[in-house]
Amino acid sequence: MNAARQNPQAATLLWAPRAWLQGRWQEAVLLEADSTGHWTSVTPGQPCPPQAQALPGAVLPGLVDAHSHAFQRAFVGLAERREAAQDDFWAWRDRMYGVALRITPDEMRAIATHLYAELLEGGYTQVCEFHYLHHAPSGQPYAEPAAMAQALADAAQATGIGLTLLPVLYERAGFSQPQLRADQRRFATSVDQVLALQQAVRGPRVNAGVAVHSLRAAQPASILALAQGFSAGPLHIHVAEQTAEVDDCIAATGCRPIEWLCRHAPLDARWHLVHATHATAQEIDRVAASGASVVLCPGTEANLGDGLPDLPRWLAAGVPLSLGSDSQVTRSWPEELRWLEYGQRLLLRQRNVAADPATQPATAARLFDRVLAGGAAAAGLARWGLVPGARADLLLLDEDEPALCGLPPSHLLDGLVFAAPARPFRAVMVGGEWVAGPWRAGSLAEGPPAATQAASGAPGAPADAGRKALRTLAQPGPAPG
């Protein structure tokens, strides 16, 4: 852990040649954070005072990873072979459960630490954990019921990333299957358990919301009870990711999934619909009218063969959007935004689909600003970005990165998303503290940043435990019981 987090922080005064403020690059920006690690002022057009730390590149606000299942990092790269005539989401899920059934709290901590260091390097400074791996492999609660949630909080603390814990309500196997399957026994939760879990872990960079796994995995009465019993944070739900789920919902309720939520939940600004891939124009308009948001996970949705969202309509309707790493096949937001736009280009045989010539002709900028604001809402954070009152997070760009060099400053964000730099960020700050990246600021005299240390692989370092857990879980385990 970085020593800076154990001691009272000094105030931070930084100067950047340019920073992304109010939707555009602004020059010569002075950024000041207080000893609590929050911005107190962000002012463009300023000379660099002698006491300020001059940053060697442009700075961006960090983004929120609005949908993560940390344990699935242990499964990345292990499901890319077709083992039967048919291979789809449901076959993937059966294989993923085989890993989920074996993970211990110590392995969860190690894998999440490994993952969160990767997410920081990928430009995320806050992660929303859609957390449903609650119980021991037997299905019995741990002696400490929040052991797995605490493992996630420990990983966040070790790396420096912010965490929004979203304990998940999970009650049944399907619309017409009132019991859980045997291989879902670790997920079983009641509304009261979810409400207790969301209070179980807290910290300076930890907050909480709640989640419903999906309409198929929870009773309607329980969904409504959770929505009525919790008003202190965001409420997330997987919805309309797969066409089979849409068909089952229609058969069971007479409504499409998003339509059901609009009619019965009812949706409001607390709700974050994860995927919402298969939505009709009418459903999109109703979500827009409700104030609810959508969490897109383009890398995972491509990997699992989910389908493509109607991105132009979601954008035009003004629905807040955020990004999630979900199954962890991608762990950087520039890659997610590239996938999001490329899916639309391939589908529609057009270019710059997400751009709006009238208001924002730059594709990357329009998408970035949408997910910057949408991610903050998904994490339940009222202030976010390079603005006074927000946590002092930033990403220091490497403008000398081979893929970016030569680009005019006005096109840096375009290059970041579409020129695919290998390591775009020199350093990552969370709460006024450098936590990741190869760049050594003067304030890091006490040692490398927390997440860099976690990713270093030195014997005894958190990364050592992470790699060991990944190797263990990559071995075939006993068949799910």
Report the C-alpha gap between 57 and 426 in whole angstroms: 9
Total number of residues that touch Zn ion (CB under 5 A): 1
For 9, 173, 248, 273, 332, the CA distances from 253, given in Å and listed in that order, are: 54, 16, 8, 19, 38
Stretch 438-477: interaction string toward Zn ion, x if CB under 5 A:
----------------------------------------
For 73, 93, 96, 102, 188, the CA distances from 183, given in Å and listed in that order, are: 19, 11, 10, 11, 11
Shortest spacing between CB 67 and Zn ion, in angstroms: 6
Q: Which is nearer to Zn ion, 326 or 336 (CB)?
A: 326
Q: Which is nearer to Zn ion, 88 or 192 (CB)?
A: 88
Question: Residue 23 in 3-state DSSP?
Answer: coil
| 411 is annotated as an active-site residue | no
Instruction: Decide: 258 and 240 in contact? Cβ < 8 Å.
Output: yes
Nearest to 334 by CA among 348, 343, 344, 323: 323
Stretch 317-356: interaction string toward Zn ion, x if CB under 5 A:
---------x------------------------------
| 87 is annotated as an active-site residue | no
Shortest spacing between CB 38 and Zn ion, in angstroms: 30
Both structure tokens of 398: 């490497």
Strand partners, 167: 131
Q: Which is nearer to Zn ion, 306 or 326 (CB)?
A: 326
Nearest to 2 by CA among 394, 461, 384, 379: 461
Shortest spacing between CB 220 and Zn ion, in angstroms: 21
Shortest spacing between CB 130 and Zn ion, in angstroms: 5
Q: Which is nearer to Zn ion, 134 or 391 (CB)?
A: 134
Catalytic residue (one of 275, 278, 310, 369): 275
Shortest spacing between CB 274 and Zn ion, in angstroms: 6
**Residue whose entry in the numeric block shows the structure tokens 């976010």:** 384
Give the residue closest to Zn ion by C-beta: 326
C-alpha Rg value of the chain to the nearest Å: 22
Q: Which is nearer to Zn ion, 326 or 433 (CB)?
A: 326
Report the C-alpha gap between 264 and 353 in whole angstroms: 33
- The residues, ordered by sequence, that sit 6+ positions from 306 with a Cβ below 8 Å of its Cβ are 89, 241, 242, 275, 277, 300
For 36, 61, 321, 441, the CA distances from 390, given in Å and listed in that order, are: 11, 10, 19, 22
Report the C-alpha gap between 131 and 129 in whole angstroms: 5
Q: Which is nearer to Zn ion, 272 or 370 (CB)?
A: 272
Shortest spacing between CB 154 and Zn ion, in angstroms: 22
Catalytic residue (one of 183, 326, 393, 398): 326
User: Interface with Zn ion by CB under 5 A: which residues?
Assistant: 326
Catalytic residues: 275, 326
